């Protein structure tokens, strides 16, 4: 393939891209990361505009894409949905038509309500003449997961994850019911590159059935596997990558008190030194951040030598830039 093959292509789920396309975007991310480290200008999108619509809060995603767009020579507009006409019901169709006539790309975060975010993005994309990038929805967090894959490649020195044991585990958090998009996104992506993925979760925290059905099909095509267990220790046993992350129970979204009460039944689901000892000696700890310190993970682990969370967070910048450069026609 050539770099122009991805120009204009939406990036709403990693599942929408081929393994070859995803690998190519990783190659570009590595080139851009090296250029950034060397202080070499890479203004690949001069005078281009990205509209970023946020229906939820953000730190890493917003700043990675805003900084990345500046470094590429373009400009990112931040749109808070609560202060735009989206709050008054403006349709995704109208947003897609209008914003794509003003600029060169649209990026959206809409992750709070199961059944809404992914559908909204696809409605915008259907009417947009510019590519749409998913900054996290209810089903997937594909910009995060591409950074996760780059980090795993950097640590293990290979893109072929055949036989790599990865545990994505639910973990306790005392705060709001978090989206299911990260564990689902990891299930949709890593087994396509051969990973043996175990999802450890309490019984009430099942992931979306239609997403997992697609993930199992993609895993079979990629030579990887997905297994679910209801014991955190069992998930960690022998793992080379551990990714403990809280998410909400689908049936309790919108019922915050009930959701937090359910979470509190599983306070012992924490990533601590004992659990890390169950994994391989060379295992790495990953998290998309922000982590609930003292609940999802102890300081000893997240700040310890096995943690790669800050490398992972940095890679949000480089993979984001690659996605923008490729989809917005820099090549």
132 and 165 part of one domain: no
58 to 80, 84, 108, 145, 151: CA distances (angstroms): 11, 17, 11, 16, 21
- Below-50 pLDDT ranges, the chain: none
8 and 22 part of one domain: yes
**Residue 81 belongs to some domain of the structure:** yes
**Residue 331 belongs to some domain of the structure:** no
- Which three-class secondary structure state does DSSP give residue 268? coil
235 and 152 part of one domain: yes
184 and 304 part of one domain: yes
- CATH number for the domain spanning 123: value is 3.40.50.1370
Task: Encode pLDDT of 251-289 as tens digits.
Answer: 999 899 999 999 999 999 999 999 999 999 999 999 999
**Residue 257 belongs to some domain of the structure:** yes
What is the pLDDT, as a whole number, of residue 177? Answer: 83
What is the pLDDT, as a whole number, of residue 329? Answer: 87
What is the pLDDT, as a whole number, of residue 331? Answer: 53
What is the pLDDT, as a whole number, of residue 330? Answer: 60
Number of domains making up the chain: 2
**Residue 264 belongs to some domain of the structure:** yes
Structure tokens at 162: 């055949």
125 and 168 part of one domain: no
165 and 306 part of one domain: yes
Peptide bond into 198 cis (omega under 30): no
Q: How far is CA 50 from the centre of its chain?
A: 19
Tokens 């993609």 correspond to 218
What is the rounded distance in angstroms from the CA atom of residue 106 to the CA atom of residue 99?
Answer: 7
- Which three-class secondary structure state does DSSP give residue 299? helix
126 and 266 part of one domain: no
158 and 300 part of one domain: yes
Element (H, E) at 197: strand 196-200
Domain that holds residue 20: 3-141+316-326
Q: Dihedral of the CA atoms 170, 147, 289, 274 (nearest 10)?
A: 50
148 and 287 part of one domain: yes
Q: Which residues have CB under 8 Å from 144's CB, separation 6+? A: 61, 136, 182, 185, 288, 316
Tokens 């990026």 correspond to 107
What is the pLDDT, as a whole number, of residue 243? Answer: 98
149 and 215 part of one domain: yes
**Residue 300 belongs to some domain of the structure:** yes
21 and 96 part of one domain: yes
**Residue 203 belongs to some domain of the structure:** yes
Query: What pTM, to 2 d.p., does this model score?
Result: 0.97
135 and 215 part of one domain: no
Alpha helices per DSSP H over 79-171: 92-102, 117-127, 142-156
What is the pLDDT, as a whole number, of residue 4? Answer: 74
Structure tokens at 18: 């081929």
Element (H, E) at 50: strand 49-54
């Amino acid at each position: 393939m050539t770099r122009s093959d991805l120009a204009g292509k939406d990036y709403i789920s990693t599942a929408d891209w081929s393994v070859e396309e995803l690998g190519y975007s990783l190659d570009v991310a590595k080139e851009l990361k090296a250029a950034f480290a060397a202080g070499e200008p890479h203004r690949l999108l001069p005078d281009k505009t990205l509209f970023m619509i946020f229906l939820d809060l953000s730190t890493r995603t917003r700043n990675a894409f805003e900084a990345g767009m500046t470094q590429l020579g373009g400009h990112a507009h931040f749109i808070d949905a609560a202060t735009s006409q989206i709050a008054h019901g403006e349709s995704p169709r109208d947003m897609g038509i209008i914003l794509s006539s003003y600029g060169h790309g649209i990026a959206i975060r809409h992750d709070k309500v199961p059944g809404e975010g992914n559908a909204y993005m696809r409605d915008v994309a259907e009417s947009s003449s510019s590519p749409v990038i998913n900054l996290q929805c209810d089903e997937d967090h594909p910009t995060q997961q591409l950074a996760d894959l780059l980090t795993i490649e950097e640590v293990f020195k290979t893109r072929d994850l055949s036989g790599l044991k990865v545990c994505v585990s639910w973990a306790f958090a005392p705060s709001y019911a978090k989206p299911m998009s990260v564990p689902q996104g990891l299930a949709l992506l890593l087994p396509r590159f051969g990973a043996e993925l175990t999802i450890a979760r309490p019984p009430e925290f099942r992931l979306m059935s239609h997403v997992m059905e697609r993930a199992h099909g993609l895993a079979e095509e990629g030579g990887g596997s997905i297994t679910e267990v209801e014991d955190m220790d069992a998930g960690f046993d022998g793992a080379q990558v551990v990714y403990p992350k809280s998410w909400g129970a689908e049936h309790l979204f919108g019922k915050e008190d009930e959701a937090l009460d359910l979470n509190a039944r599983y306070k012992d689901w924490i990533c601590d030194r004992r659990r890390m000892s169950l994994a391989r000696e060379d295992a790495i700890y990953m998290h998309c951040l922000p982590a609930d310190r003292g609940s999802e993970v102890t300081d000893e682990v997240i700040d310890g030598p096995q943690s790669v969370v800050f490398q992972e967070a940095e890679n949000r910048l480089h993979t984001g830039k690659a996605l923008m450069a490729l989809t917005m026609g820099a090549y």
